[in-house]
Structure 1
Amino acid sequence: MTSGLLGSKPENLLASFWYMPLFYGHILFGGVALMVGWSQFSTKLRAKRIQLHRNLGKIYAIMVTISGISSLIIAFFATGGIIAQLGFTVLGVLWLATTYKAIISIKRKKVIQHQFWMIRSYALCFAAVTLRLWLPLLIGGLGLEFIEAYKIVAWLCFVPNMIVAELIIWWLQQPKALSID
Structure 2
Amino acid sequence: MTQHVDNADTAVERIHTPGVATPPVSRRWRRPAMIVFAVAAIAYVAYKLPPYLGLDPNEAPIPTDSPAHYAVLVGHVFAGSIALLTAVLQLWPWLRRKHPAVHRFTGRVYLVAGALPAAVLAVSAYPQVPGAGRVAVVVAGTLWSVTAVLGWIAARRKRYAEHRRWMVYSFAIMWGYGVWVFVFANAFYYVVGLDEATSMEAARWGGWISNLVIAHWWMERTAGRTIIGTPRRSRKRRETVESAPDVR
Indicate the TM-score class for this superposition, using the shorter chain for normalisation: 0.7 to 0.9
Contact 2:69 2:128 in 1 (8 A): no
Q: 1:164 corresponds to which residue?
A: 214
> Which has the larger helix fraction?
1
Tell me how far apart the structure 2 counterparts of residues 134 and 144 of structure 1 sit (CA, whole Å). Answer: 11
Q: Which moved more, 1:144-153 or 1:162-171?
A: 144-153
Letter in 2 for 1:89: V
Quote the offset at 1:3 in angstroms: 8.8
1:6 equivalent to 2:62? Answer yes
Work out which of the residue numbers 64, 78, 83 in structure 2 matches 1:33. Answer: 83
CA spacing shift, 1:4–1:32, aligned 2, 3 Å? closer
Secondary structure in 2 matching 1:158: helix
Kindly state the Cα deviation for residue 30 of structure 1 after the two structures are TM-superposed.
Answer: 0.5
Tell me which stretches of 4 or more aligned residues in structure 1 moved more than 3 Å. 1-5
Return the match for 1:139 from 169, 185, 189: 189
> Do structure 1's residue 118 and structure 2's residue 174 form an aligned pair?
no
1:154 paired to 2:210: no
1:47 & 1:142 partners in 2: Cα distance? 43
Does the aligned pair in 1 maintain the 2:188–2:194 contact within 8 Å?
A: yes
Unaligned residue ranges in structure 1 (runs of 5+): 8-13, 176-181
Is the 8 Å Cα contact of residues 79 and 150 (structure 1) preserved in structure 2?
A: no
Query: Residue 106 of structure 1: which of 150, 155, 171 is its match?
Result: 155
Partners of 1:4 and 1:160 in 2: how far apart?
A: 29
CA distance in 2, matches of 1:131, 1:97: 20
Query: Any conservation in 2 of the 1:79–1:147 contact (CA below 8 Å)?
Result: no
Quick one: distance in 1 between partners of 2:162 and 2:211?
A: 19
2: CA distance, partners of 1:5 / 1:15: 13
1:15: Cα distance to partner?
3.8
Further displaced range: 150-159 or 37-46: 37-46
Matched residue type, 1:95:
W
Normalising by structure 1, we get a TM-score of 0.85
What per-residue deviation string (whole Å, max 9, x for no partner) do you get for residues 33-69 of structure 1?
1111022122221111010000000000011111010
Instruction: Identify which of 115, 126, 132 aligns with 1:75.
Output: 126
Bigger radius of gyration, 1 or 2?
A: 2
The Cα offsets for residues 128-179 of structure 1, whole Å up to 9 and x where unpaired, read as 010111011000111122222111111012010110110111022129xxxx
Contact 1:80 1:148 in 2 (8 A): no
